[in-house]
Amino acid sequence: MTGAVGQIGTELVQALRKDYGRDCVIAAGHRTRPTREFMDSGPFEYLDVADRERLERAIVDNRIDTIYHMASILSAVGEMKPQLCYEVNMGGLYNVLEVARIHKLERLITASSIAVFGAGVPRDSTPNDTILLPTTMYGVTKVSGELLGAYYFRKFGVDFRAVRLPGIISSGTLPGGGTTDYSVEMYYAAVQGRLYTCFVREDTVLPMMYMPDAVKSLMGLAEADGSRLKHRVFNVNSMSFSAGELADSIRSVVPAFTCDYKPDYRQAIADSWPRSLDDSAAREEWSWEPTFDLPRMTKDMIEKLRPKLTK
């Protein structure tokens, strides 16, 4: 797994090791230093996806048959550093696809994003198959990555599969520079007893997903029967709520929580994204179904964060 020390990768690695065994999952990261607990959980390699030779050597030496490609520069950071976003997101994916082609790997799973959508699409129940006109460099790289992966499937038989993830909320790792980071930061502020200043409007509605469901979607698609798949890229929906509704949900557990709203440049990004997704293709082709709704997620998040932040 590339990007294994990122927000999703950290928890996905542990889920894969639980199912397949600690020594069967090679975690690979670039700059972020893993915790000692993470290092002790199984094999780890420092690896830059821009270095194809090093990537290929890791694939061959470890006899890899499946890649989860999670290395990526996210939306907010991508707008501050668009050149870096392109180099990592496009260059890294191209290298991974080439290695998968040359060594005939069984499958390649990656995460796309709701950032692929833009003007001209329905913002409610956004279809799986629709026009893609993103307004951010992150979105541009994700659309390009979807098309490149589909091309490698048709041209070379690389079993490329991707889920379009909504905003991800995690109790395990801090957010990594995305436009939906306010959702995670709000929980942290509530548990720590701090006022939170939200960088989007109170009425901003976006699709969100709790980390256990994000992990479930990636592993579920990877394990799906390929003969049932008519698509290479799938919307996966879970829940949608406004920033104000999230704050109210948190106050149902932490009544003293306070939040104000001061939108910044990320508001324009949020306004270009869907409010909910039509994930009927994923449900029909590989039986996707989320587990968490907003009340259950809030309860679980706060239960997990309280001992961690207190410690």
CA–CA distances in Å: residue 262 to residues 28, 156, 273: 37, 49, 19
The answer to whether residues 206 and 237 touch, using CB atoms and an 8 Å cutoff, is no
Helix (H), strand (E) counts: the chain:
13, 11
Strands 196-198 and 107-113: unpaired
Token output for 297: 């997620």
210 part of the active site: no
Q: How far apart, in whole angstroms, are the C-alpha atoms of residue 80 and residue 90?
A: 17
Strands 205-210 and 239-242: antiparallel
Nearest one of 105, 108, 113 to 59, comparing CA atoms: 105
CA–CA distances in Å: residue 222 to residues 69, 70, 232, 306: 12, 14, 11, 33
Q: What is the DSSP letter of 33?
A: P
**Active-site entry in 138, 187, 196, 261:** 138
What residues have CB less than 8 Å from 300, skipping those under 6 apart?
A: 171, 210, 292
Q: How many residues does the chain have?
A: 311
Q: How far apart, in whole angstroms, are the C-alpha atoms of residue 126 and residue 130?
A: 8
Beta strands in the chain (DSSP E): 27-29, 44-46, 66-69, 107-113, 160-165, 167-169, 196-198, 205-210, 233-235, 239-242, 259-261
Measured CA angle at 145 (ends 211, 57), to 5 deg:
85
State the catalytic residues. 138
